[in-house]
């Protein structure tokens, strides 16, 4: 199948590109490079042995998108492109809604103009908000708690209306939990600019000596060891989830589906730090501070629906996630020197 990946040079997009190319799909990357680099396309060529065309452009450029869909005879789109920093979205909601929501509308216009009706959308567990029960299943009420989360929820609502109006569309909204880890090659992974916001990249930088210590945001939560609990899922498992979602869309009769992609296992900050110490053999100094505003104590997925409907479940362990992150970190440091 000819598949367009918006945000294809980003973290999750690039890993999904590697999985799709290995499954003999023709992948086209589309990215404005606001949070990734064009060199990712070259690395994907090294990994896959195939040339993956990269179109450098913004998803709000409807004409360029339409032209790209036509030129490459695209049959399905996986829509990763978006801004994802929660703090930035609180400071600058207009930019977030413009990029994420208006960008998606532009994509949908281009798809309608070219009769491409199969779409996989990168949603997030953040749409659920404060847990009314755990694990979150897909029937859990949605109530996003910040502009980033609301941008994902608005997009899901737009897609639901589209599916109601046009029953011949096939749309999968994949609600990711906490993607971490990297491709085994060490060539692609998560490499945030500046100081990372998220736990795993922060821990990796402390282990490498690039940052002096981890600050643990609170150890007085009502969790087994007092630190925050999340459902970390290996990015390669997640990438395989996209392939499974695409395949299942071809078979299913519902125009839209919502599916959690997580492991179903909650891991605390202290557990993740210990696993990273074990994987890297490095010390990870840490201090405990106050809770981070807006953080939830614990959340994790009910992964049953993904197994039933997509035939997908995560297979990689926390140790795999830490080892691959560390390998990528070491390789990135070598490349920089
Ligand atoms: P990322 O920033 O690495 O990748 C996103 C890519 O989209 C980047 O390459 C960026 O340059 C591109 N992009 C952004 N705005 C664009 C625009 N207007 N036009 C064209 N390209 C644009 O992020 P990621 O972690 O790979 O996330 C991919 C998607 O998954 C995002 O939509 C994100 O919200 C969602 N998601 C991510 C996580 C996570 O923790 N990483 C969790 C849940 C959902
Ligand atoms: C964050 C985002 C969420 C997004 C998710 C994707 C916020 C408020 N939420 O969630 O919208 O979907 O990333 O992966 O930004 N922690 C520390 N020290 C650190 C960093 C994190 O102790 O330096 C703790 C946090 O308090 C939390 C856990 O580690 O308990 C995981 O944090 P993080 O990786 O930022 O993910 P989320 O909080 O789940």
State which ligand 2 atom lies nearest to the alpha carbon of 292: 26
Q: Which ligand is nearest to the CA of 225?
A: 2
Residue 331 CA to residue 246 CA, distance in Å, equals: 32
Q: How far is the CA of 226 from the centre of ligand 2 (A)?
A: 15
State which ligand 1 atom lies nearest to the alpha carbon of 35: 11
Q: How far is the CA of 198 from the centre of ligand 2 (A)?
A: 5
Q: Which ligand is nearest to the CA of 178?
A: 2
Element (H or E) spanning 96, and its range?
A: helix 93-96
| Contact between residue 188 and residue 14 where contact means Cβ atoms under 8 Å apart | yes
Q: How far is the CA of 100 from the centre of ligand 1 (A)?
A: 9
| Contact between residue 125 and residue 177 where contact means Cβ atoms under 8 Å apart | yes
Q: How far is the CA of 223 from the centre of ligand 1 (A)?
A: 30
Tell me, what's the pLDDT at 192?
85
**Does any ligand 1 atom lie closer than 6 A to the CB of residue 66?**
no
What digits encode the pLDDT tens for the residues 195-227?
999 999 999 999 999 999 999 999 999 999 999
State which ligand 2 atom lies nearest to the alpha carbon of 149: 11
Please tell me the residue having the least CA distance from ligand 2 atom 34.
198
Tell me, what's the pLDDT at 253?
80
Residue 149 CA to residue 97 CA, distance in Å, equals: 10
**E strand residue ranges, 84-209:** 118-124, 170-176, 178-180
Which are the catalytic amino acids? 148
Domains of the chain: 2-182+233-264+300-315 (3.40.50.720)
Burial class of residue 269 (count of CB atoms within 10 Å of its CB; 0-12, 13-18, 19+): buried
Tell me, what's the pLDDT at 251?
83
**Does any ligand 1 atom lie closer than 6 A to the CB of residue 105?**
no
Residue 61 CA to residue 71 CA, distance in Å, equals: 15
Q: Which ligand is nearest to the CA of 286?
A: 2
Question: Omega into 135 within 30° of 0, i.e. cis?
Answer: yes
- The helices-and-strands tally (H runs, E runs) of the chain is 12, 13
What digits encode the pLDDT tens for the residues 252-264?
789 999 999 999 9
Taking the C-alpha atoms of 65, 70, 76 and 81 in order, what is their torsion angle to the nearest 10 degrees? -10
Q: What is the pLDDT along the chain (337 residues), one digit of tens a residue?
A: 999 999 999 999 999 999 999 999 999 999 999 999 999 999 999 999 999 999 999 999 999 999 999 999 999 999 999 999 999 999 999 999 999 999 999 999 999 999 999 999 999 999 999 999 999 999 999 999 999 999 999 999 999 999 999 999 999 999 999 999 999 999 999 988 889 999 999 999 999 999 999 999 999 999 999 999 999 999 999 999 999 999 999 887 899 999 999 999 999 999 999 999 999 999 999 999 999 988 999 999 999 999 999 999 999 999 999 999 999 999 998 988 8
Strand partners, 301: 136
Residue 84 CA to residue 105 CA, distance in Å, equals: 18
| Contact between residue 67 and residue 109 where contact means Cβ atoms under 8 Å apart | no
Q: How far is the CA of 218 from the centre of ligand 2 (A)?
A: 12
Tell me, what's the pLDDT at 250?
83
- Residues for the chain: how many in total? 337
From 85, 120, 70, select the one nearest 243 (Cα to Cα): 120
Residue 213 CA to residue 276 CA, distance in Å, equals: 14
**Does any ligand 2 atom lie closer than 6 A to the CB of residue 286?**
no
Tell me, what's the pLDDT at 333?
87
pTM score: 0.98
Element (H or E) spanning 90, and its range?
A: helix 86-91
Retrieve residue 247's tokens.
């395949």
DSSP label at residue 291 = P
Q: How far is the CA of 83 from the centre of ligand 1 (A)?
A: 6
State which ligand 2 atom lies nearest to the alpha carbon of 221: 30
Residue 177 CA to residue 126 CA, distance in Å, equals: 8
Q: Which ligand is nearest to the CA of 101?
A: 1
**Does any ligand 2 atom lie closer than 6 A to the CB of residue 217?**
yes
Q: Which of 126, 235, 295 to mutate to test the pocket of ligand 2 (most atoms within 8 A of CB)?
A: 295
């Amino acid at each position: 199948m000819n598949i367009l990946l918006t945000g294809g040079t980003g973290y999750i997009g690039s890993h999904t590109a590697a999985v799709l190319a290995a499954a003999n799909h023709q992948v086209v990357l589309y990215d404005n490079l606001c949070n990734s680099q064009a060199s990712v396309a070259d690395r994907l060529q090294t990994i896959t042995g195939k040339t993956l065309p990269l179109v450098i452009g913004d998803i709000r450029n409807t004409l360029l998108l339409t032209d790209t869909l036509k030129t490459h005879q695209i049959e399905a789109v996986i829509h990763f492109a978006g801004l994802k920093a929660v703090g930035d979205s609180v400071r600058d909601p207009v930019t977030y809604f413009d990029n994420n929501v208006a960008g998606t509308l532009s994509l949908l216009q281009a798809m309608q103009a070219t009769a491409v009706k199969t779409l996989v959308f990168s949603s997030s567990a953040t749409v659920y908000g404060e847990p009314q029960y755990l694990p979150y299943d897909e029937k859990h009420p949605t109530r996003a708690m910040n502009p980033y989360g609301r941008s994902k929820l608005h997009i899901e609502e737009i897609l639901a209306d589209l599916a109601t109006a046009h029953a011949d569309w096939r749309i999968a909204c994949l609600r990711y939990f906490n993607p971490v880890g990297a491709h085994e090659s060490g060539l692609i992974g998560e490499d945030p600019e500046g100081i990372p916001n998220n736990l795993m990249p922060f821990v990796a930088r402390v282990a490498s000596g690039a940052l002096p210590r981890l600050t643990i945001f609170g150890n007085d939560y009502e969790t087994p060891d007092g630190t925050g609990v999340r459902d970390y899922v290996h990015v390669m498992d997640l990438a395989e989830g996209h392939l499974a979602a695409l395949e299942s869309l071809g078979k299913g009769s519902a125009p839209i589906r919502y599916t959690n992609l997580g492991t179903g296992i909650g891991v605390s900050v202290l557990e993740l730090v210990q696993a990273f110490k074990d994987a890297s053999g490095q010390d990870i100094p840490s201090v405990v501070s106050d809770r981070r505003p807006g953080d939830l104590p614990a959340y994790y997925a009910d992964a049953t629906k993904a197994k039933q409907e997509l035939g997908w479940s995560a297979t990689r362990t926390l140790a795999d996630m830490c080892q691959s992150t560390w390998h990528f970190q070491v390789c990135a440091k070598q490349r920089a020197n």
